[in-house]
Amino acid sequence: MTKLEYTFTNDTLFKTLFVKYQNLLKRLVAELLRIRFESIGQFEVIDTEVPPEIVGDKFCRLDICMTVNGQKVNLEIQVNDEGDYPERSLYYWARDFSTALGEGIDYKELPRTVIISIIAFKLFDCEEFHSEYQALEVTRHKPLTDKMSMHYFELPKLPEVVDADDELKLWLALFKAETEEDLKQIEAMGVPVMEQAINAYRNITATDEFKEMERLRSRARHNEAAALRHAAEVEREKWQGVVAEQATALSEKDATLADLRDAVTEKDAVLSEKDAALSEKDAALSEKDAALAEQAALIAELRKQIHEGN
What is the distance between the alpha carbons of residues 173 and 1, in angstroms, rounded to a whole number? Answer: 17
pLDDT the model gives residue 59: 43
Q: What is the mean pLDDT of the chain?
A: 87
Residue 262, pLDDT > 90, answer no
* Residue pLDDT, tens place only, 178-225: 999 999 999 999 999 999 999 999 999 999 988 888 887 777 666 665
For 210, counting Cβ atoms within 10 Å of its Cβ (0-12 exposed, 13-18 middle, 19+ buried), the class is buried
Of 30, 100, 24, 96, which Cα lies nearest the Cα of 69? 30
The domain segmentation of the chain, as residue ranges, is: 11-206
Of 172, 180, 163, which Cα lies nearest the Cα of 120? 172
Cβ density class 5-16: b for 16+ within 10 Å, e for less:
ebbbbbbbbbbb
pLDDT the model gives residue 57: 46
Banded pLDDT at 228 (limits 50, 70, 90): low
Banded pLDDT at 303 (limits 50, 70, 90): confident
Average pLDDT over residues 161-182: 95
Task: Of 35-39, 44-48, 289-293, give the range with the top mean pLDDT.
Answer: 35-39
